[in-house]
Amino acid sequence: MARVLLPLFPLSVVVFPRTPMPLHIFEDRYKEMIGEALENGTEFGIVQATEDGILNAGCSVRVSEVLKRYDDGRLDILVVGVRRFQVLQLDTQRSFLRAEVEFYDDEDAAPAPPEARLRALEEYRRLHELGLPRPYGEAQLSDPQLSFQLAFGLPDLNFLQVLLHDRSESSRLKQVTEYLARYIPRLRETERMKRLAPLNGHGQRAPEL
């Protein structure tokens, strides 16, 4: 597959294809980068930033909507993930970081087995029943890469990065199902403790000091 020089936006997030992400653009270098993307209708890449630098895989995005323009040039935008990429070599010749990248997709184009989708959807519905808001909009359950839709917005960036690398939908669905089966009980316990926090542990409100 052909290599491409892609502008990069390092952030503490993981984006997947066809998932939305609101961004607030305030640094001059990223105003420049987004301005070019808007003018030319081109993609830029979001890569996860860590204390040690950036990780070597990310997802390209396109600006789907400019939500607000500020007088000082800042922007609120909505982007949508397009395609995954591997970082091959960094380029620092512009004010913003760029990289030579190679795009990739799943190695097996066959859909995941229906039973794998059903198990993942069952766990996702259990999560949804907790009533917690989904941070970036509703999941598109008809997406052929359902795993990305179900996992997007989960708090474990390491787990999301593993999914981003994985080139098998069946494998990703299995991992999402297993992750949610562990995560949901912990989340329920956390929510229970939050409800009990004002109490003294015996069903009575703790005395005020």
The pLDDT of residue 91 is 97
Phi, psi of 82 (to 5 degrees): -115, -65
- The residue with tokens 């008809």 is 142
Residue 201 in this model has a pLDDT that exceeds 60: no
What is the rounded CA–CA span in Å between residue 173 and residue 115?
10
Average pLDDT of span 86-110: 95
What is the rounded CA–CA span in Å between residue 30 and residue 8?
9
DSSP letter string over 184-207?
HHHHHHHHHHHHHTTB-SSSSBPP
The pLDDT of residue 209 is 34
SS3 content of the chain, % helix, strand, coil (to 5): 35, 30, 35
The pLDDT of residue 199 is 56
Residue 2 in this model has a pLDDT that exceeds 50: yes
**Residues sharing a CB contact under 8 Å with residue 124, sequence separation 6 or more, in sequence order:** 139, 150, 176, 180
Identify which has the larger pLDDT, 201 or 153.
Answer: 153
Domains of the chain: 3-104 (2.30.130.40), 114-196 (no CATH)
| pLDDT tens column, 143-177 | 999 999 999 999 999 999 999 999 999 999 999 99
